[in-house]
Amino acid sequence: MLVHRWLKEPESIDKPTMEKVTEIVESWRERLYDIGWFMRGINECIARMANEEDNCKGRFWEGRYKSQALLDEAAVLSCMAYEDLNPVRAAKENTLAESDSTSHSAAPIRLQM
């Protein structure tokens, strides 16, 4: 409310109120510099919308997803195979060639020199 009042009528704000407005604005600036704070805000918004859409409660990811370091080429290839075969395993597609969400269906990339 203070900041809104200051934005509408800056000259009507007394000195103690202006100090509080400055303090609030500085805290917002610090938050905007923090990518973690920004991402938490985005994730919270997405989670609320998804929960409302699905009529449920709880964290958006519900512990279903996690990060895993891929430390060598074998791990990367294993992960790629898992991702490509996932639509087939989930019975969403009959073959890799039918799937739009795998690297098998991707058109070859041509580099121009």
* DSSP conformational letter for 59: -
Domain ranges of the chain: 2-54, 67-105
pTM of structure? 0.34
pLDDT value, residue 60: 63
pLDDT tens-digit map of 55-99:
877 766 565 556 678 899 999 888 888 877 777 777 777 776 777
The burial class, CB within 10 Å (0-12 / 13-18 / 19+), for 86 is: middle
Beta-carbon contacts of 2 under 8 Å, excluding residues fewer than 6 positions away, are 13, 17, 20, 21, 24
